[in-house]
Amino acid sequence: MKADAETASAAPPTEKGANRCEEILEAASALLLEEGYAGFSARGVAARAGLRLSHVQYYFASPAAILAELLERFVRRYGEEIMARFASGDGSGEERLYRALDFLLNDEAYRRDCGIFMIEVAGFASRNALIAAALARYYEIYFDLFSGIVKTLDPSLSPRVRARRARQCVALIEGMSMTRPYMGPKGEVDFSAREATRAIMRLVCGE
């Protein structure tokens, strides 16, 4: 896929247009999860959605444009879930952080989706400007999310330090997520979430 002429088509922002976009993205997500990047195409998305290829191309000028939108959709949806878990219920900051990290590291649906986007799709960022921009936006949202968590855990941190801590938290989580299959028997995977929580509390609060 070439980088030029890959931005989404300027479809009218009508309710019908928004619904059609959502239909296309749902079909694209299902196709990507089932077939992976190698089996992904605009024609395949159109067939999956029961639409003509021209209908898909009206809203998204290329397969890369669809993938870029899916990547942003992915991080926003799961970002909201992470924050909802962090904010829900009572408990200390550490307990709330654990709820969020347990989801990030152990939820099977999230890990499945993340594997597709961060291993298959993101691997093409060096060759496609549109996907590279979407990946940069992914991490911008991810960093902002953890900046908010860090601020809650320690409101005394300056914005500069808070931003640095948020990036360190993301790096720690990404590393633990990638090495999770090698951390021990399946019944012990919770260990990674507990350890990540303690490590981030030490990093942010000096505990």
The secondary structure of 10-71, three-state, reads CCCCCHHHHHHHHHHHHHHHHHHHHHCHHHCCHHHHHHHHCCCHHHHHHHCCCHHHHHHHHH
Q: What residue ranges do the domains of the chain occupy?
A: 64-205
Q: Which of 69, 86, 81, 84 is nearest to 32 (CA)?
A: 69
**Helix pair 93-106, 129-153: axis angle to 10 deg:** 150
Q: Measure CA 75 to chain center.
A: 3
pLDDT at 1: 41
Burial of 91-112, coded b for 16+ CB within 10 Å and e otherwise, reads eebeebbbbbbbbbbebeebee
Q: Which helix (H) or strand (E) element contains residue 201? A: helix 190-205
Residues 6+ apart with CB under 8 A from 171: none
64-205 carries CATH number 1.10.357.10: yes
Question: What spatial distance separates the first Cα and last Cα of the chain, rounded to whole Å?
Answer: 48
> Could you tell me the pTM of the whole model?
0.77
pLDDT at 95: 92
pLDDT at 195: 87
Q: Measure CA 201 to chain center.
A: 23
Amino acid at 115: G
Q: Which of 196, 207, 2, 205 is nearest to 99 (CA)?
A: 196
Query: How far apart are the C-alpha atoms of 44 and 195, rounded to whole Å?
Result: 42
pLDDT at 116: 78
* CB distance 37 to 120 below 8 Å: yes
pLDDT at 3: 42
Please identify every stretch of the chain with a pLDDT value under 50, giving residue numbers as ranges: 1-5, 7-8, 10, 12
pLDDT at 120: 72
Dihedral-angle region of residue 184 (phi above 0 means left; psi in -120 to 50 means alpha; beta otherwise): left
